[in-house]
Amino acid sequence: MSPELLVTLAPDLPHFARFANDPRLAGIRLNSAMMELSEIKNELARVRGTKSALPFYFDVKGRQPRIAKVYPNPHHLEVDLNHPIEVELPMPVLFKAERDHALLERLENGGRHLVFARGGPHFMVKKGESLHVRHSSFKIDGANFTDEEKEKVALVQRMGMRRWFLSYVDSWSYVDEFLEMVGHDAEVWLKIETEDGLHFVRNDWKKRENLVLVAARGDLYVEIERPHEIAAALELIVEKDPKACVASRIMLSVVDSPVPSCADFLELEWLTHIGFQRMMLCDDICVKEELLPIALHAFDAWRRDHERRKKQKSAYADCM
């Protein structure tokens, strides 16, 4: 199997149609976090309009803590979450994949309303974004799927989509609840993003034909207690599922240079060496029309060279 590449694209992006039929891609993920329920029907109609042969996957956020509302306040940050939480206070909270932070001082409205009265964040926080708390006291309460999320899933099903990503996976009960919604024969890619998710993979995961593990590094690297153990986490995931996908934090050097870094190319080689044959670029690259072509062209050039070298090694071994 030759290494495959997936991307995340929104149908309203100006370059969506350009890549919706790109034969160098193996699939397109639709990120539901930034989609309002009222927008989904039109967005999926645009997908159909491309007449793309590529598989499309709709990403369901489920129990992942996401910002549901940002309150206008010139002095400090106040937000509502999609799920109520519990945590010791005060507590540092991470935003923007650890690039930003703020100090959480109060929880109100049963743990749904968060007040950051002092210190940060430095950048604007938007509805739909995730946040992270590295502390053992952190707990997500309430139902796994909000009513709005269930409505999104039902609408997507009615539009004929049968492939999914599921965020924040950490138990079979959570996966099975989702399969009850979408059908036990649906294709679902399970995003492993937390320490609990790694525990699930290590101790409970059993491969099923229609389920695929995803090493969702954008959040996983932020969530794990010891960042240097990210390599061990990736090795665990692909060992447990040889068809697993590794996502995000790939080829990020193209943000600053049209030529990817040496480290980026060597990482692609290492990822295939430990077993990954499916990879997905992060949103930050995919949403920018000037960056995605650079990353895709570089990945495809590396892939062709990788396959050439693999064939040469195979031919050499046959001659021995």
pLDDT digits (tens, 9 = 90+) for 240-275: 999 999 999 999 999 999 999 999 999 999 999 999
Does the pLDDT value for residue 32 go beyond 80? no
> 5 Cβ partners below 8 Å, 6+ apart?
24, 25, 26, 279, 280, 281, 296, 299, 300, 303
Q: Which pLDDT belongs to residue 241?
A: 98
Q: φ, ψ for residue 216 (rounded to 5)?
A: -85, 85
* Confidence band, pLDDT 50/70/90 cuts, at residue 278: very high
Report pLDDT digits (tens) over 44-103: 888 988 889 999 999 999 999 999 999 988 888 999 999 999 999 999 999 988 889 999
Question: Are 245 and 214 in contact, with CB atoms under 8 Å apart?
Answer: yes
- The whole-chain average pLDDT of the chain stands at 94
The residue-averaged pLDDT of 162-186 equals: 97
Can you give the pLDDT at residue 253? 97
What is the reported pLDDT for 98? 86
Taking residue 30's Cβ as centre, other Cβ atoms within 10 Å add up to: 23
Distance (Å, rounded) from C-alpha 91 to C-alpha 153?
A: 33
Domain boundaries, the chain: 4-63+146-319, 67-140
66-102 b/e (C-beta count within 10 Å ≥ 16 → b): bbeebeeeeeebbbbbbbbbebeeebebbbbbeebbb
Q: Please determine, for residue 127, whether its predicted confidence score (pLDDT) is greater than 80.
A: yes
pLDDT value of residue 316: 67
**Residues forming a β-bridge with 4:** 278
Q: Does domain 4-63+146-319 have CATH number 1.10.287.70?
A: no
Q: How much is the average pLDDT of 28-50? A: 86
Model confidence, pTM: 0.94
Amino acid identity, residue 259? Answer: V
Which residues are CB-contacts of 312 (< 8 A; sequence separation ≥ 6)?
none
Query: Could you tell me what percent of the chain has a pLDDT over 90?
Result: 81
Say if residues 43 and 12 touch (Cβ distance below 8 Å). yes
- What DSSP element (H or E) covers 286? helix 283-286
Considering the chain, what percentage of its residues have pLDDT values greater than 70?
A: 98
Cβ atoms 27, 39 nearer than 8 A? no
CA distance 128 to 130: 7
pLDDT beyond 90 at 119? no
Higher pLDDT, 76 or 179: 179
User: Which has more pLDDT, 19 or 37?
Assistant: 19
196-223 pLDDT per residue, tens: 999 999 999 999 999 999 999 999 999 9
